[in-house]
Amino acid sequence: MWRLSRRTLWQAIPTVIGILVLNFLLLRLIPGDAVDVLAGESGGASAETLIQWRSHFGLDLSLMDQLQRYLVQLAHLDLGLSPRFNLPVSQLVLDRLPNTLLLMVGALGLALAIGIAAGTAMATWVGRWPDRVLSLAVLLLYSTPGFWIGLMAVLLFSVKLGWLPNNGFQTLGLNLNGPAWLLDRLQHAVLPVLALATFYIALYARLTRAAMLEVQRQDYVRTARAKGLTPWRVVSRHVLRNALLPVSTLAGLHFAALLGGAAVTETLFGWPGLGRLTLEAVMSRDYNLLLGILLLSSMLVVLINIAVDLLQAWLDPRLQAD
């Protein structure tokens, strides 16, 4: 199993380098740089100041020199300085990362739990009314923008009923401890997690249904039934376990999409995470910060895919053989 993960890690290296170069070149295509934005916001600056700022952040070097400088920095595990916040990029990103991870892990967990349960129910009663009702509900959810559901949930639960907060990740100005703190955080997380999860609930439900219908036709399922196993055992041990393989592959692939989708959810709920930091970096032309975010989130995706490989090796031991 460790050999498998080491191999995947090696294979990821060219991908990460590709991402790095692609992003670096892409970001240099953005018109204007951070110094322009800074100067604009401070109401203009003299030509000498601009030159001084540019040389401070290394923006006066040629493109290839900048890339080389960045790569050398990176080899020392240094993501550079953010001109916008005048702080190390790694510090900014690591500050926000836990918030985004909380949102994503919550949403992914919720989506997998509800999605797989709904998909199993649909496949078990395929063609009958539970399947029809659930299929329609899932298709509706699959077609609805998550942030719109979030907005409507804000309207119902925050504006009309006043049950849940609709902004931020904790109540400001309160010094809460223990259970009260946890409850406060949970209340703030409910709506964002729900808004991010809806689309993926529908996606996993559809995938699980399709994969289970495929597996149900296999000979070994008939054998399992013929040898007198209870229907529940056939479904859980023989059908679902094999059907989870394609679901887990796609869950790994969707992690990148989930990370991107968090940008909208975070903006909607004022959640201080990576998505909002990305938008701030784009608006202020802060390439170093943007590059750091893109690089770290891509590496996160690579790591998640390695975890998915390991999970699959556990689900289907045959995969370890090759």
Partner 1 sequence: MTSAVLQTAPTGYSESVWTALLRNPSALIGATMLALVLILALLAGTLYPGDPLDMVAMPMLWPGDDPGYFLGSDSLGRDVAAGIAHGARGSLLIAASATLISVLIGGLVGALAGYHGGKLGDVLMRICEVFQTVPSFLLVIVIVAIGNPTLGIIALAIGISSWPTVARLVRAEFRTLREADFVTAARSLGFSDRAIILREILPNALAPLVVTTSILIAQAILVEAGLAFLGMSDPNQASWGAMLGSGREQIASGWYLTALPGLAIIFVVLALNLLGDGLNDALNPRLRRYIP
Structure tokens at 153: 């949930």
Minimal distance, residue 30 CB to partner 1, in Å: 5
Residue 89 near residue 286 (C-beta atoms within 8 A): no
The only residue of 34, 207, 293, 308 in contact with partner 1, by rule CB under 8 A:
293
Among 47, 75, 77, 159, binds partner 1 (CB under 8 A): 159
Rule CB under 8 A: say whether 145 interacts with partner 1.
yes
Which residue lies nearer to partner 1 by CB, 48 or 219? Answer: 219
Closest Cα to residue 121, out of 113, 129, 131, 112?
Answer: 131
Nearer to partner 1, 19 or 112 (CB): 19
Say if CB 149 and CB 107 are below 8 A apart. no
Residues 50-79, interacting with partner 1 (CB under 8 A)? none
Query: Among 149-157, 183-191, 224-232, 311-319, which window interacts with partner 1 (CB under 8 A)?
Result: 149-157
**Considering only residues 279, 307, 310, 311, which one is a binding residue for partner 1 as defined by CB under 8 A?**
279
For partner 1, the closer of residues 239 and 262 by Cβ is 262
Dihedrals phi, psi of 226, to nearest 5 degrees: -65, -30
CA angle 45, 46, 49 (to 5 degrees): 85
Measured in degrees and rounded to the nearest 5, phi and psi for residue 81 equal -110, 140
Tally the C-alpha atoms within 13 A of residue 248's C-alpha that lie toward its C-beta.
19
Task: Tell me the C-alpha distance between 152 and 172, whole Å.
Answer: 24
Among 5, 66, 73, 144, binds partner 1 (CB under 8 A): 144
Our finding on whether 290 is near partner 1 (CB under 8 A) is yes
CB contact at 8 A, 153 and 194: yes
Residue in 2, 3, 10, 31 binding partner 1, rule: CB under 8 A: 31
Least Cβ distance, residue 230 to partner 1 (angstroms): 29
- Is there binding between residue 19 and partner 1 (CB under 8 A)? yes
State the minimum distance, in angstroms, from the CB of residue 287 to partner 1. 10
d(CA 241, CA 192): 30
What is the Cα–Cα distance from 200 to 260, expressed in whole angstroms? Answer: 13
Pick out residues in 179-218 that bind partner 1 (CB under 8 A).
Answer: 199
183 within 8 A of 130, measured Cβ to Cβ: no
One of 237, 260, 314, 317 touching partner 1 (CB under 8 A) = 260
Q: Does 140 help bind partner 1 (rule: CB under 8 A)? A: yes
> Using CA atoms, how far apart are residues 302 and 167, in angstroms rounded to an integer?
31
Q: Whose structure tokens read 């030509």?
A: 47
Interface residue with partner 1 among 59, 197, 302, 306 (CB under 8 A) is 302
Rg (CA), the chain: 24
Report if residue 142 touches partner 1, rule: CB under 8 A. Answer: yes
Q: Using the rule CB under 8 A, is 92 a contact of partner 1?
A: no
Cβ contacts of 199 within 8 Å, gap of 6 or more: 141, 142, 144, 145, 146, 261
**Minimum distance between the CB of residue 182 and partner 1, rounded to whole angstroms?**
28
Part in contact with partner 1 (CB under 8 A); list of ranges 46-54, 73-81, 117-125, 261-269 = 261-269
Q: Can you give the binding site for partner 1, defined by CB under 8 A?
A: 14-16, 18-19, 22-23, 26-27, 29-31, 139-140, 142-145, 147-148, 151-152, 154-155, 159, 199, 253, 256-257, 259-261, 263-264, 267-268, 275, 278-279, 282-283, 290, 293-294, 297-298, 301-302
